Amino acid sequence: MGPDLDFENRARQAGYRRIAGVDEAGRGPLAGPVVAAAVILDPERIPEGLNDSKLLSARKRAEVLDHIVAGTEVGVGLASVAEIDELNILRASHLAMCRAIEALRTRPDHVLIDGNLVPRDLTLPATAVVKGDSLSLSIAAASIVAKTRRDAIMWDLAQQYPGYGWERNQGYPTKCHKEALRNLGVTPHHRRSFKPVHNIL
């Protein structure tokens, strides 16, 4: 059983028309921004292959991303490393989500948020959906957009800061990444509020 349109249909039955699914990528890494995406699906044109981004290979994600971008409305928002360190990762994730919603071409009238909390600065009607990326097709689409955008950012940063393995670990605290932190030191893209980085400083 993959994600479906159950949450979207319930929102439509309550009178909402433009429903956006929202998810983020990059809460756990030691480096790089947190990236969020908001997607408004056309119920008549659901992109093929939608699923929780964690269950898809990088190649499959790239394929599905093409379908999403071609047939839906997409907004992307980021929160920087500085914002993560200043606000904390949850607040920064929510900031990125609000920015992704603002980046949509048309304003949604209801938002499905992955997780158990609705961002406190969000002024739109919203529903928090725990494990939303595996339940709601709109959130699954947002999870694919957020993950592929963030992976691309980390690949670019890996070219500028070789040795940390970001092109493979995307900034997550793998053994290789933590060793590189100890040997090469902390870059401007590391989250200083995260314990493994903080401890080295």
Residue 201: what pLDDT? 81
Q: Which domains does the chain have, with CATH numbers?
A: 6-159 (3.30.420.10)
- Residues 4-30 have a mean pLDDT of 97
Q: According to the 3-state scheme, what is the secondary structure of 65-101?
A: HHHHHHHCEEEEEEECHHHHHHHCHHHHHHHHHHHHH
pLDDT band at 72 (very low <50, low <70, confident <90, very high): very high
Paired strand residues for 24 = 36
pLDDT tier at 145 (50, 70, 90 boundaries)? Answer: very high
Cα torsion angle, 100, 167, 141, 63, sign: positive
Q: Whole-angstrom Cα distance, residue 62 to residue 24? A: 17
Residues 6 or more apart from 66 whose CB is under 8 A from it? none
The per-residue pLDDT for 28 is: 97
Enter the pTM of the model.
0.96
pLDDT interval class at 1 (50, 70, 90): confident
Q: Mean pLDDT for the chain?
A: 96
> Rg of the chain's alpha carbons, rounded to an integer?
17
pLDDT category at 96 given cuts 50, 70, 90 is: very high
